[in-house]
């Protein structure tokens, strides 16, 4: 049955139809993979801070992890230390500074800058004392901008000012001369660190990917359609064969009945 020209032609048509469905499925799958590719942001290109973030509001997802540069003045008496900070797998202390930046309109805004990491509290406090003794002067700063962290309740009840996260609101309350001053809702990890402190390891952000599941669903549908085209051809051939078998059996039964009737008539005449 399958080797008859009619069904061979139908098979060729079904295969062509299945190939078309498969091509559409591949196209949908390629679209899903293309949309899921990570878009590499130029986070390692140092850009001006003013082009990346504005004070008074959260930074955008695109800005997170971007290397920025700006000029500001560290306020000597506003250094804070944070414990429980990891640096390449080691737990230690961060030294956080308060920087004032001058906006184009002449106003000043505040920014938190993580200056370096120390393996113990004594080293961190020694660095704070040394940095606090430096005279105020404008300095160029390059670092990676990161979003504000949620503050934590101090674990040491005897030290209510203990800090473990870079909470801009908590730091703002500890800084001097910031009443009425705007502040960046983010902080910068200074690149390279300072004397007496190790540089804080701050890798570039990991680009996230997300597949387009709708395209994958469409691709699966086209593959199913391709398989259905072959199955439909097989089913049509099978049904045609069943009809032929039924007609043949019916013809054989009719022939047998006619032969039986004829034999009975001959026998009646002989009697």
Crossing angle for the helix pair 213-270 and 5-35, nearest 10 degrees?
A: 160
Q: How many CA atoms lie within 13 A of 190 on its CB side?
A: 27
Provide CB contacts within 8 A for 41, sequence distance 6+: 62, 65, 66, 205, 207
Distance from the Cα of residue 5 to its chain's centroid: 54
Instruction: Give residue 123's pLDDT band: very low, low, confident or very high (50, 70, 90).
Output: very high
C-alpha pair distances (Å), 196 with each of 116, 131, 163, 164: 9, 10, 21, 21
Question: Smallest Cα–Cα separation from 197: which of 119, 264, 259?
Answer: 119
Of 26-35, 58-67, 104-113, 164-173, which gets the smallest average pLDDT?
26-35
Alpha helices per DSSP H over the chain: 5-35, 49-52, 121-132, 168-174, 213-270
Percentage of the chain beyond pLDDT 90 is 38
Give the tokens for residue 196. 């007496």
Instruction: Please tell me which residue, 22 or 114, carries the higher pLDDT value.
Output: 114
Contact 228, 14 (CB under 8 A): no
Provide CB contacts within 8 A for 261, sequence distance 6+: none
- Taking 90 as the threshold, does the pLDDT of residue 6 lie above it? no
Give the tokens for residue 199. 């540089």
Contact 96, 114 (CB under 8 A): yes
- Taking 60 as the threshold, does the pLDDT of residue 37 lie above it? no
């Amino acid at each position: 049955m399958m080797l008859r020209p009619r069904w061979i032609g139908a098979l060729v048509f079904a295969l062509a139809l299945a190939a078309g469905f498969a091509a559409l499925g591949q196209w949908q799958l390629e679209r899903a993979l293309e949309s899921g590719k990570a878009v590499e942001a130029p986070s390692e290109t140092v850009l001006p801070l003013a082009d990346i973030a504005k004070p008074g509001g959260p930074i955008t997802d695109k800005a997170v992890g971007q290397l920025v540069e700006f000029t500001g003045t560290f306020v000597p008496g506003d250094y804070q230390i944070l414990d429980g900070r990891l640096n390449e797998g080691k737990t230690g202390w961060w030294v956080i500074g308060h920087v004032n930046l001058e906006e184009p309109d002449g106003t000043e805004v505040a920014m938190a800058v993580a200056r370096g990491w120390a393996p113990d509290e004594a080293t961190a406090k020694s660095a704070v004392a040394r940095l606090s003794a430096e005279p105020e002067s404008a300095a160029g700063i390059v670092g990676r901008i990161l979003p504000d962290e949620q503050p934590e309740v101090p674990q040491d009840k005897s030290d209510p000012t203990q800090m473990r996260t870079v909470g801009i609101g908590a730091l703002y309350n500890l800084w001097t001369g910031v009443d009425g001053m705007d502040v960046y809702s983010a902080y910068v990890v200074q690149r390279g660190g300072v004397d007496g402190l190790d540089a804080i390891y701050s890798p570039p952000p990991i680009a996230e990917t997300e597949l387009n599941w709708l395209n994958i669903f469409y691709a699966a549908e086209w593959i199913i359609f391709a398989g259905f085209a072959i199955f439909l051809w097989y089913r049509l051939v099978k049904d045609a064969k069943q009809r032929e078998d039924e007609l043949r059996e019916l013809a054989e039964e009719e022939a047998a009945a006619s032969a039986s009737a004829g034999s009975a008539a001959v026998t009646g005449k002989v009697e």
